[in-house]
Structures are given as C-alpha cells and as structure tokens.
C-alpha cells in the first residue's frame, strides 16, 4: 500500500511539473512577443521572428515534459523503446514535416510574407508552423497575380519532393513581357518607339534599386549572368503579322496592375496613330469551287386499283 501511494505521488508530482512547464512556456512566449513588438518595424519580419520564437519554445517545453515523464516505471531504456516504437509506427508523416520545417528555416527557403509557389500552390506565406505552412492563394480561376480568397495549408515535408519557387526572397522584381501583333502595313518603327517609351515610363523609378539588388544577387550567385533591367524590344516576323514583344522590370506584386495600365495606354495611343494597326487572325476566301447539283423530277402517284403500262390508253 505505501508503494502504491508513493507511485501515485510521483505521478502527481510529474503532472504538476508538466503543468508548470507549459505555463512557463506560455508566459515566455507572451513576454518575448511583447518585447520584440516595438523593436521590429517590418510586419513580415516580426511575424517570422515570432514564428521561430514560438516554435523554439514549443520544442524546448516538449523536451522538458518528455524528460520528466521518461522516468515512469523506473526504466529509461524501456520508456525510450516504447516511445521509439510508437514514433516509428504512427509519426512518419509528422517526422517528415518536422524535418521539412528545419529545412525551411536552416535552408532559408522562404519567410512569412514571401510570395512562393510550392508544387501546384502559389501565393503569399501567412504562417510557418512546425508541421505545415499556410499560404494565401493566388491565380487558379483568377488567372492573374491576385488573391482568390482561399488559404491553403501545405505539409512541410513537400519541400523535399516538390520544387519551391520564391518570387520575392532574393530579388523582389520580375521580368514581364507584353506581345502585341501589328500588320505588315503598319509603321513598326513608330510602334516600337511607343512601346519602349511606355515601358520606360513605368519602370524608370525602380530601375536603380532593381539594378542594385541584382548586383547583390550576382555577388551571392556568381554563376548568374549579367543582364540589364532597362526595357528591351524584340521583333519576330510571322506569316500573318509582325510580333513585337517588349520586356521590362516590374515589382513582383504589381505585375497585373502595371500590365493592365500598359495595355490600356498603348491601345489609346495606337488609336491616335493612323499608321499603326493591331493585327488579328483573319481568313481571306480567294475563290470557291464550282458546285454541280441535280434536281430530280417528282413522279405523280398512280390511282389506286389501276395499272398503267407503256402504250396502253384507257
């Protein structure tokens, strides 16, 4: 009886210690969150720091609680063996996601606020937990770089199997292209000048910071080829029209807005240029083949009960 009482007291003691550890973890998370709130101005950076801090406190507290309860039964070896068997049987996906989380953090794959594409999911990272990443989705039926309104939860383990595209981590700009076909009768030189002027107008204010960030990226990745951030124009002669494509730099999250404004202003400007005509798919009928038709003469029906034979008259 005293042994049973002693064992119950040990269980109660371990339970109380575990509760204290959990409460201390909550208090530490709250205190550190308030401490960094006024020190970090960037909301995305603050969310990343809070995420790392929250997950770190969680791991430490879980380790302490496990260390407290591993002495149950008086045999550390038995407890570790039972825990290992349970983990091997039921937590394979969880371990994969935990390893994926460590890969995300240590490999600097993405942060909160980055625009990424993971497998088939594309959007802005809202949260990174130990097991999963939450993304505000873009594209899908929208067919543009704007939110759909859905949040997508992705298991962290997918970073080992699917490619991770990051639009904003190393260089927060994109090269975008707009193709406009014009007829061969149009003044293509005038059209090219108009397109370059509009592209320069919309990208002039970001060319200097984009060039600076690109040089920094080149120093980090020496294999990256030197390229220009100034607008450029490319021509291609096709069977139906002259394909004119201009390339320009744009902030990654502003691509759709700038693209729409460029299209609208170019259309308005082309309307004022009588020598420029936007081409489209047209089909010209050169000739039609001769169609011969034969119309059969209907035969009058014979009266009922009569039989007509050639040369016989009634």
**DSSP string for residues in the chain:** -HHHHHHHHHHHHHHHHHHHHHHHHHHHHHHHHHHHHTT---HHHHHHHHHHHHHHHHHHHHHHHHHHHTTGGG-HHHHHHHHHHHHHHH-HHHHHHHHHHHHHHHTT---TT-EEEETTEEEEEEEE-SSEEEEEEE-GGG-SSSEEEEEEEEEGGGGGTS-EEESSSS--EEEEEEEEEE-TTS-HHHHHHHHHHHHHHHHHHHHHHHHHHHHHHHHHSTTSPP---S-EEEEEE-SSSEEEEEEEEEEGGGHHHHHHHHHHHHHHHHHT-TT--B----------------PPPPPPPPPTT----TT---
Most confident of the following: 35-44, 53-62, 270-279: 270-279
Mean pLDDT across the stretch 106-124? 93
Q: In CATH, what is the architecture of 173-271?
A: 2-Layer Sandwich (3.30)
pLDDT given for residue 8 in this prediction: 66
User: Is the model more confident about 18 or about 79?
Assistant: 18
pLDDT given for residue 209 in this prediction: 93
pLDDT given for residue 121 in this prediction: 94
Mean pLDDT across the stretch 51-57? 74
241 phi, psi to nearest 5 deg: -160, 175
251 phi, psi to nearest 5 deg: -60, 135
Computed over every residue of the chain, the mean pLDDT equals 81
Determine which of 185-194, 219-228, 256-265 has the lowest per-residue pLDDT on average: 219-228
23: confidence class by pLDDT, cuts 50, 70, 90: confident
**Where along the chain do the CATH 3.30.70.100 domains lie?**
173-271
Res 313 pLDDT > 50: no
For residue 255, give every residue at least 6 positions away whose Cβ sits within 8 Å of its Cβ, in sequence order, or none. Answer: 145, 174, 176
For residue 92, give every residue at least 6 positions away whose Cβ sits within 8 Å of its Cβ, in sequence order, or none. Answer: none
Residue carrying structure tokens 């909160």? 112
Q: How far apart are CA 136 and CA 150, in angstroms?
A: 6
pLDDT digits (tens, 9 = 90+) for 167-199: 999 999 999 999 999 999 999 999 999 999 999
| Whole-prediction pTM | 0.65
281 phi, psi to nearest 5 deg: -70, 120
Nearest to 204 by CA among 244, 258, 256: 258
């Amino acid at each position: 009886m005293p042994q049973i009482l002693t064992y119950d007291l040990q269980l109660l003691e371990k339970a109380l210690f575990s509760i204290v550890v959990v409460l201390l973890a909550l208090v530490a998370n709250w205190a550190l969150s308030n401490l960094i709130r006024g020190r970090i101005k960037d909301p995305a950076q603050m969310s990343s720091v809070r995420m790392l801090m929250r997950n770190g406190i969680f791991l430490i507290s879980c380790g302490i609680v496990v260390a407290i309860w591993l002495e149950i039964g008086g045999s550390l070896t038995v407890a570790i063996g039972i825990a290992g068997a349970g983990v091997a049987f039921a937590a394979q996906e969880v371990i994969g996601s935990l390893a994926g989380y460590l890969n995300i953090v240590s490999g600097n794959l993405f942060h909160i606020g980055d625009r990424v594409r993971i497998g088939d999911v594309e959007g802005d990272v809202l949260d990174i937990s130990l097991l999963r990443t939450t993304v505000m989705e873009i594209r899908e039926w929208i067919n543009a770089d704007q939110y759909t309104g859905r949040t997508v939860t992705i298991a962290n383990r997918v970073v080992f199997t699917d490619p991770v595209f990051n639009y904003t981590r190393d260089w927060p700009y994109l090269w975008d292209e707009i193709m406009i076909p014009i007829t061969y009768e149009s003044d293509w030189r005038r059209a090219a000048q108009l397109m370059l002027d509009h592209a320069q107008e919309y990208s002039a204010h970001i060319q200097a910071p984009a060039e600076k960030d690109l040089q920094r990226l080149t120093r980090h990745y020496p294999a990256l080829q030197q390229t220009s951030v100034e607008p450029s124009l490319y021509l291609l002669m096709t069977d139906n029209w002259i394909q004119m494509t201009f390339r320009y730099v744009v902030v990654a999250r502003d691509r759709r807005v700038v693209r729409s404004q460029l299209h609208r202003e170019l259309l308005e400007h082309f309307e004022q240029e009588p020598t420029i005509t936007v081409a489209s798919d047209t089909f010209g009928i050169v000739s039609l083949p001769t169609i011969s038709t034969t119309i059969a003469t209907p035969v009058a029906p014979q009266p009922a009960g009569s039989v007509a034979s050639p040369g016989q008259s009634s």
